[in-house]
Amino acid sequence: MKLRINALKEGSQTIEMTLTRSDLAITDDNFIHPILASLNIYKGSHQITVNGQAKTDVVLQCDRCLEPFDYHLDVTFQSILSPIKPSDPKTDEDIIPLTPKTDEVDLSPFAHDALIIGLPMKNLCSETCRGICPGCGINLNQGKCICKKTETDDRWKPLENLLTNTPEE
């Protein structure tokens, strides 16, 4: 996702493109759908501001029921291209230094990071997912458990009294 600096006009402009995971160096196999990227660019007299948006659907596996599901990912990122010195200690990581010799800038790392950070930490197909039975392994969203009621261990009997609030002496 390279941006040619010399091809930009003064003022606002929008560039839209379709990318693949290899274009953004994403190694995660969950990214099987194309990535739609949109760059809103404002070129001023001293700096260029790029506000980007990336959208795609990723296939994730639910952490509760282990079924695959599609998750819509819509992330934003921003970068500023400015003629500052790269050795300046106040340089922000979102600011790309421009020199008179800079012809193009690669914005792929910004989109890559935004997409990876945008993935959920806990993959759930729905908030009401019931998961799988630890005994028989059936998906509780699709059917009822076929496990037989197991006998409780008598060692846990004193703890049942805590749940019923009936002291047993």
Close Cβ partners of 7 (under 8 Å, ≥ 6 residues apart): none
- For the stretch 77-102, pLDDT in tens is 998 888 866 565 555 676 777 777 77
Query: What is residue 166's predicted lDDT score, i.e. its pLDDT?
Result: 53
Show Cβ contacts of residue 85 under 8 Å, excluding neighbours closer than 6 positions. Answer: 97
Other CB atoms within 10 Å distance of the CB of residue 31: 21
pLDDT of residue 114: 92
CA 53/CA 40 separation, integer angstroms: 8
pLDDT, tens only, 112-163: 899 999 999 999 999 999 999 888 888 888 988 888 766 677 887 788 777 7
Within 13 Å, how many C-alpha atoms sit on residue 118's CB side?
20
pTM, rounded to two decimals: 0.73
Q: Is the pLDDT of residue 168 over 60?
A: no
- Among 57, 64, 73, which residue's Cα sits nearest to residue 127? 64
The pLDDT of residue 150 is 64
Measured in whole angstroms, how far is the alpha carbon of residue 6 from the centre of its chain? 32
Q: Give per-residue pLDDT as tens, 29-60.
A: 888 888 999 999 998 888 889 999 999 999 99
